[in-house]
Structure 1
Amino acid sequence: MNYRTKHTGLRLTVIVALLAVFAGCKSVATPPASAPLAGTEPRIFPDYAATVIPPNIAPIRFRIEEPGVAFQTRIHGDQGTEITISRSDPAVPIPEAEWHRLLESNQGGVLKFEVTIQDRLGGWRRFKEFEVRVARERVDDYLVYRRKIPGQDWRQTSIQIRQRTLGGFDDKIVLDNQRIGTSCINCHSFVGNKTRYMSLGFRHFIFDTGTILVIDGKIEKIPLKFGYTTWHPGGDVIVFQQPRLTPRGSRAEESDLFYYRRSTRTVRPIPGLAREDWLQDGATFSTDGRELFASAAPKPWGATPTKDVPSEVLRQIVPFDLVRVRFDIDKDEWSEPEVIISSRETGNSILFPRTSPDGRWLTIRMMDYIYLVDLQKARETGRFEPRQCPELQTGESRGWNSWSSNGRWLVFSSSRETGIYIRTYLTYVDPEGQVHKPVLIPARDPSVQGEDPFMYNVPELIDEPIPVSADELAHAIRSMKFEEVNGYPPAKK
């Protein structure tokens, strides 16, 4: 290749790149001030109208779902410099720097979005402004989640644990199962939205099954398969769900609850819960660590071994109650479980309990909705009364949710918009427990948001980055020896 050919090719590459950058950004006509009003708000995706957003969230980029050949969007508040975006493309890529300046100037206020569209005949329509409220309370800086293609076996697909920066669009891999010979990785968990204590489960047909613990930046590997996990706030005790092998076709997914004590490297069943005639599911500690809320249900077939139970019995749906077990960490003592919300009274299973960091609220899942329980009121009256939140329809039977460190934001996974693909949403919960319209986590490219084939679930909010790299975690799973654990394998008493 001679000098001229080489540099001609380079110039063409640069030109193509610039065309890609400015596609949709070419100069468009300015709408006249007299443009007639459409009388309605524009249709947009994601639907951010009438939502509440954190003052540190990434630009809520969207695409306008109205026909047209030119699109102008004005964003303004009572304070700060307005943002104007004029394009021949319906995508609205709000610039980051200008957006964050506008958010900072309008904390506790309202941003207004005005969309004006030109049709093919040259006429303009100015749509009614929609509003977005900016809360004063920040959301944690990072979101950790699991990404995979739904419906595919973990041995044949990519599964990644990822860490997203919520103030921008940086998204890094925490662990990729392709780095460890295709395995299942899941059930990441933290203490108090911090990364000082972290757990991450893995299942592999070569490297065996176990859990990675990250303690103060140091990695440990233990031969216990943590399912859904909750840490005691002190970081020494970890309660985890361990699924049992269940016959194909069974609807009653059998699992047990155990607790692992790091200081003694001991695993034990939780007395009163780990019984042959009971099923257990997820659990969560109270903020002070003195109570454990767990989903549990008596088996319709009692203590009969599952392999001896007729298939038509196994296929029935078993409703779960919410139980409370008191815990004394100093004496290592657990109380007998007491039912605090009965599935007979609600008519539905109670699953996935999560407590807010301020100790005020408990979220639970019933059918396709997340419910709020006022723990402060419950302790005063003795009644745990779930309140349905229509805004928190999940549309997904195993949807996960978690709280921000200040207790004002709830993040949850849901297939509410497509019925198939699970996305991650953020919703504001005010001090009185009023839940506001959820916000789909913003994407870098709004023109394709919601169209990728992945599911995004098990979202966890943290306020600091994970202190170990993807290489270190992969190396630990492949090469580290398992720590000895007293009581392993966990057995029922």
Structure 2
Amino acid sequence: MARYIILYTLLFLTACQPGRVSPDRQTDTSPVLFPDYTDVTFPCNIVAPNFLITEEGEAFYTEIGSEGQVFFSQKSRNADVRIPAEKWKVLTTATAGKEFYIRICVRQEGKWIQYKDIRNTISTESVDPYLVYRLLYPGYELWNEMGIYQRDLTSYEVTPIIENKSAKSECMNCHTFCRNNSETMMLHIRGKAGGTVISRNGNVEKVNIKKEGMNNGGTYAAWHPEGRYIAYSVNEIQQFFHSTGKKPIEVSDLESDLIVWDCETNQMITDSLIYGPEWMETFPAWSLDGKTLYFCRSKAITQQTPLDSIYYDLYKISFDAQNRVFGKPECVYNASALHKSISFPRVSPDGNYLMFTCSDYGNFSIWHPESELYLLNLQNGNIRNMQEVNSDNVESFHTWSSTGKWFVFSSKRIDGFWAHPFIAFFDPKTGIAGKPFMVPQKDPEFYKTFTKTFNLPELIINPITENEHSLKLIRNKLLSSSPD
């Protein structure tokens, strides 16, 4: 019966298409779309990728189809193409694992010109349906206007999780999840009313990740895969401003160390090998089995150290969760020998790969146009530049999906100013990624007019809003002045 329903739907959609355009001439040139949805592999559960035809013209015809079936067509004087949800759903169901085409005709001086068909693919693999990110202005003046939001990738729905207009204008620093699951998560807010809120096993608790005698509290975090421990770097951060040059704003650690927080005992675990004045350690990331902690490490600096001489290498240290003890640090990738610097190590869910950001110096890669994504094969030690996803501008923060078949990252490739979220397919068998695409928006011109930067994008399998009681507790804890 289901087969007949799908067949009827296809016949209905095809029958309702407006008359096709008969082109006066054809060109081998591909049309330019914004966002650039060409040669892309889409998840089968992604919302419709609306787009703008940027070619000049008096009228526009768009046809989307596959193997002789037309799923959507539109003739309009408007270059704005918005695909109805029900038609996109039929397309993704019918073409999963296959290619589909986008055919564009533009009328110029009364003549219809047909451009070369655009080809995209619908994957049989779905992406984690929710994206959590921080929105803020890219400068430093308006840090008190930011928030953490949840986007449903199967629709265009955006839900505020916490905004600092309700958080006494404090700086919302970080959010992170255990194995892409919102049931085990952490949110942190700086300032007098700030603190760290940990939600796990149905309980929500506010803790102070800064003990007596510590100069700094927990900053960048990573959940141990078992969900009991959180690794933190404790950082003292400073901004620097330049009147000239390509990098008007620079950010650097003045000092940083590593700790591990035990969520069951509210105790801190560390070791002099990763906590002390000789080195700066930051950006922790756990291995799949939780027995190894990866991190970035640089020699300690002084106020006189030139910023462009600070290099971070990739390190690892063993961790015995049962006895709560560390081994000895080992250098995994000596990037400093190449005058390069590493940030944001992330281990894939299958434990076979580690993705990181590489820049010329420092570890705040979001301010470095040269920063790019690299991939370390943990099975054979090979490291390569992920040229298939990088651009000529910033590629920075990134996280894997729960399956390891997708990853999301922040990039400033559109204008060099605002960071936007991009998703790319990843083949674990080959270690090769597909062409990245911008997270679709209802308004195709959204990214041309939206004046905030997308920061710290993380994919999750279930919404934070699924448990309204827990979400209310999280918000109340963040807004309270008490650590308990």
Fold agreement, TM-score > 0.5: yes
Q: Is the 8 A contact 1:113 1:129 kept in 2?
A: yes
The alpha carbon displacement at 1:468 in A equals: 4.9
* 2:399 is the counterpart of 1:407: no
Using the alignment, how far apart are the partners of 2:392 and 2:232 within structure 1?
25
Q: Residue 363 of structure 1 aligns to which amino acid in structure 2?
A: M
The total of aligned residue pairs comes to: 437
2:121 aligned partner = 133
Please point out which of 322, 329, 338 is paired with 1:330: 322
Matches within 5 A, 1:448-467: 448-466=446-464, 467=466
Matches within 5 A, 1:76-475: 76-78=65-67, 81-119=70-108, 121-153=109-141, 157-205=144-192, 207=193, 209-224=194-209, 225-244=217-236, 246=238, 251-299=252-300, 309=302, 311-313=303-305, 315-367=307-359, 368-377=371-380, 384-393=381-390, 399-430=396-427, 431-466=429-464, 467-469=466-468, 471-475=472-476
Q: Is the 8 A contact 1:395 1:414 kept in 2?
A: no
The alpha carbon displacement at 1:29 in A equals: 9.1
Change in Cα spacing, 1:116 to 1:396, as seen in structure 2 (3 Å) is closer
Report Cα offsets for 1:167-205 as digits up to 9, x if no partner: 110110011111121111121000111112100110124
Using the alignment, how far apart are the partners of 2:320 and 2:165 within structure 1?
42
The alpha carbon displacement at 1:401 in A equals: 0.3
Report Cα offsets for 1:455-482 as digits up to 9, x if no partner: 0010100010114556543321223631
2:365 aligned partner = none
Secondary structure, aligned partner of 2:448: coil
2:10 aligned partner = none
Secondary structure, aligned partner of 2:379: helix
Point out where structure 2 has 5 or more consecutive residues left out of the alignment: 1-16, 210-216, 242-250, 360-370
The alpha carbon displacement at 1:216 in A equals: 3.1
Q: Is the 8 A contact 1:239 1:260 kept in 2?
A: yes
Which stretch shows the higher mean deviation, 224-233 or 363-372?
Answer: 224-233
Using the alignment, how far apart are the partners of 1:128 and 1:136 within structure 2?
26
Change in Cα spacing, 1:450 to 1:361, as seen in structure 2 (3 Å) is farther
Q: Residue 376 of structure 1 aligns to which amino acid in structure 2?
A: Q
Q: Residue 414 of structure 2 aligns to which amino acid in structure 1?
A: E
Change in Cα spacing, 1:81 to 1:398, as seen in structure 2 (3 Å) is closer
Which stretch shows the higher mean deviation, 106-115 or 391-400?
Answer: 391-400
Secondary structure, aligned partner of 2:440: coil
Which stretch shows the higher mean deviation, 366-375 or 344-353?
Answer: 344-353
1:8 aligned partner = none
Report Cα offsets for 1:294-343 as digits up to 9, x if no partner: 001222x5xxxxxxx4x432545311111110111111111110001002
Using the alignment, how far apart are the partners of 1:84 and 1:98 within structure 2?
10
Q: Is the 8 A contact 2:394 2:411 kept in 1?
A: no
Point out where structure 1 has 5 or more consecutive residues left out of the alignment: 1-27, 302-308, 378-383, 484-493
Change in Cα spacing, 1:270 to 1:314, as seen in structure 2 (3 Å) is farther
Seq. identity, %: 27
Report Cα offsets for 1:342-391 as digits up to 9, x if no partner: 024443012110011111110011111111111122xxxxxx33110113
Q: Is the 8 A contact 2:149 2:161 kept in 1?
A: yes
Task: Indicate the RMSD between aligned Cα atoms, in angstroms.
Answer: 2.2
Larger Rg computed on CA atoms? 1
The alpha carbon displacement at 1:255 in A equals: 1.7
More strand by share: 2
Q: Is the 8 A contact 1:399 1:414 kept in 2?
A: yes
Q: Is the 8 A contact 2:233 2:258 kept in 1?
A: yes
Q: Is the 8 A contact 1:227 1:241 kept in 2?
A: yes
Q: Is the 8 A contact 1:252 1:314 kept in 2?
A: no
